[in-house]
Structure 1
């Protein structure tokens, strides 16, 4: 599936600017990690997975990661994309466990990119370029801040990858710096 085909599918089911922006942030973050982790030849595939991970969320929030499988199968989407996107809902509505390193990265960074984005909005610079790990950690500890971003999922994702929480946050900040601002 090309990026253009993925975008067309995404915009068929998503119109809200917030959801489209989040999809693109996760797409680019996934591409960054593909390169960083030695999967550069699969960078575009990782990006498509990131772009489509929340395909069903806007229209079917109660069936998130379930309805998307049905939609993608009807459209003839590669089963690897279907498995990968559905696996980011592991333990939250589906029992499809992230297996490949790519799926674990998606699971870990989906919520985290949202939390980091919320931290950036609160900064005087409104930029990720000068964002430090300690700033994210401070907000991370405040349960009321970006309450919709599950710390449990972020931590479980770091564990799946065998990374510390600090490493996951720092690397995700680095990823966001490569394309934001």
Structure 2
């Protein structure tokens, strides 16, 4: 599946605009991480773009989220490692995160939310106005962006990355698509 086919699938299954932005942000960060780690950028980007493909359908049943999407992607012939990463990014299933792709998607998912929240509290409301230090300060505030699981983001250490480096990669990737994100 190429990117355009994946975008068409997103448009077909996801109607929530902010969710689409989250999926685009996750795609960008996953691609940047793959580049940094010497992995397949297209595959990692695809996993990021499609990881929440079932969210509108499963929003009221978190125990189904990512399993429905994984099954959908499996039927469409996506690689097994992409399907597994999509399924494993939801902790509710207790699936082991074995590959770097699994671990990256799990860590990136909440990072995009933290970065959006950090941009939105800045007076300019722009990703270009924030830096790693600003984000790290927000990260340390437990009351800020409570839905962004800090431990999940800290699991970037399993990829051999410090939290600061991980945030920098994510921030730069999202700054690169700030226009699409409206930030």
TM-score (normalised: structure 1) = 0.87
Q: Which runs of 5+ in 1 are unaligned?
A: none
Aligned partner of 1:175 in structure 2 is: 173
Q: CA deviation at 1:72?
A: 2.1
Q: Can you list the C-alpha shifts for 1:79-131, whole angstroms capped at 9, x where unaligned?
A: 22211211222xx2123222222322221111011101110011122222231
Quick one: distance in 2 between partners of 1:122 and 1:37?
A: 31
Quick one: distance in 1 between partners of 2:160 and 2:117?
A: 25
Quick one: distance in 1 between partners of 2:148 and 2:18?
A: 15
Q: CA deviation at 1:48?
A: 0.9
Aligned partner of 1:165 in structure 2 is: 163
Aligned partner of 1:5 in structure 2 is: 5
Quick one: distance in 2 between partners of 1:70 and 1:36?
A: 29
CA RMSD of aligned residues (A): 1.8
Please state which structure has a larger fraction of its residues in helix: 2
Quick one: distance in 1 between partners of 2:139 and 2:66?
A: 25
Instruction: Within 5 Å, give how 1:75-94 maps onto structure 2.
Output: 75-89=76-90, 92-94=91-93
Q: How many pairs align?
A: 176
Instruction: Within 5 Å, give how 1:70-109 maps onto structure 2.
Output: 70-89=71-90, 92-109=91-108
Q: Which runs of 4+ in 1 moved over 4 A?
A: none
Q: Is the 8 A contact 1:65 1:93 kept in 2?
A: no
Instruction: Within 5 Å, give how 1:22-171 maps onto structure 2.
Output: 22-39=22-39, 42-61=40-59, 62=62, 63-89=64-90, 92-155=91-154, 157-171=155-169
Q: CA deviation at 1:150?
A: 1.0
Q: Secondary structure at the match of 2:158?
A: helix
Higher RCO (CA-CA < 8 Å; seq separation 6+): 2
